[in-house]
Amino acid sequence: MSTPEQEQDAAQARPEARLAAAVRAAEQALIEFEIAVETFRIEVENFSRLHHQKLGPMYARLDELEARIAEAKAARSGDPDDVRLAAELRAQVQPMPGVEELFHGWMDSEGLFPEAQSMLTGQEVRPPQRVRPSDEVRKLYRELARKAHPDLAQEDAERSRREEFITRVNAAYARGDEERLREFAEEWAAGPEPAERRLTETEELYARLEWLSRRKEMLTVVARDLEEGAIGSMLRMAPDDPDALLDEIAEQLLAQVSAREAELDGLLADDAPRGPSGGDGS
């Protein structure tokens, strides 16, 4: 039978134990949320690159046609507003990129993207990556992220090791590289055993809960921005078959290109020189 002193000690320990359990639950929930956000971020990134590769030339053609149509109308009317509009549209066809635009999307932790490598070497661009990793790749990624997440580390050295490992895992996941992820699973299994999670002081537990709360707020903003962005919105329209959505958009763009080309041809035909007598030359 326990003594009154032991019972009192146990009663005092229970609130801290409950707090520690709450922290562990919050950590696991945050890890799952981070996995979901990272999964969607990679899907958005891959879909954005494929969208640019497949539809970029069509958008560029539309911009060029819009500028040429505006220029033809301005040349015909001489109206200052038409001239100004033509100049604005022409400036949009090939805008001068900013510093961020010059470097954004050129490389990741694995080095240069195929498109950037092609621009620098003149070699043919490889086919675009998969829009979405396979179900098996997703499963492997989630298992690795749960086991090796940096937030589970208790010491700085272990956190650094986990961060470096997860960076490589993320890169393989973005490529849909199932074989590499399996290698990472073996590497993690053979690595040092993570330290036992020990109960911390009450003040540290509360501080940890605060950090988790701030981290969740930040991830919520990131998730919202991804979902509300143009690419994220398109992905949410067709989550199971984004390729079909790209095909549908491509058909719409082709129809717009045909319509603008016909409009431009009509304007140029009207402005074509007539015969010597001012008639049709017949």
Measured torsion, CA atoms of residues 253, 60, 53, 227, in degrees rounded to the nearest 10 = -70
Q: What is the pLDDT of residue 230?
A: 83
pLDDT of residue 112: 44
Q: Is the pLDDT of residue 119 over 80?
A: no
Q: Cβ–Cβ contacts within 10 Å for residue 199, how many? A: 15
For range 189-216, the mean pLDDT: 69
What pLDDT score does 24 carry? Answer: 83
The pLDDT of residue 3: 61
Alpha carbons 159 and 73: distance in angstroms, whole number: 63
Return d(Cα 193, Cα 190) in angstroms, integer: 9
* Measured distance CA(12)–CA(182) in Å, rounded: 46
What is d(CA 46, CA 41) in angstroms, rounded to the nearest whole number? 9
List beta partners, residue 107. 112
Closest listed residue to residue 175, CA positions, set 239, 112, 136, 132? 132
Tokens of 143: 């298992």
Sign of CA dihedral 183, 189, 192, 197: positive
Q: What is the pLDDT of residue 194?
A: 54
What is the distance in angstroms between the CA of the first residue and the CA of the last residue of the chain?
120
Of residues 59 and 278, more confidently modeled:
59
Of the listed ranges 20-24, 101-105, 146-150, 230-234, the least confidently predicted one is 101-105
Residue 89 has pLDDT above 80, yes or no: yes
Q: Enumerate the H helices of 113-197 as residue ranges.
A: 114-121, 135-148, 156-175, 178-190
Fill in the DSSP letter of residue 150. Answer: G
User: From CA 277, how far away is CA 281, in angstroms rounded?
Assistant: 7
Rg (CA), the chain: 29
pLDDT digits (tens, 9 = 90+) for 2-48: 565 655 555 555 677 887 888 888 888 888 888 888 888 888 888 88
Residue 200, token pair as written in the block: 């911390």
Kindly report, residue by residue over 154-183, the tens digit of the pLDDT. 777 888 888 888 888 888 887 788 899 999
Question: What per-residue confidence (pLDDT) applies to 45?
Answer: 84
Q: Are 150 and 159 in contact (CB under 8 A)?
A: yes
For the chain, the average pLDDT equals 75
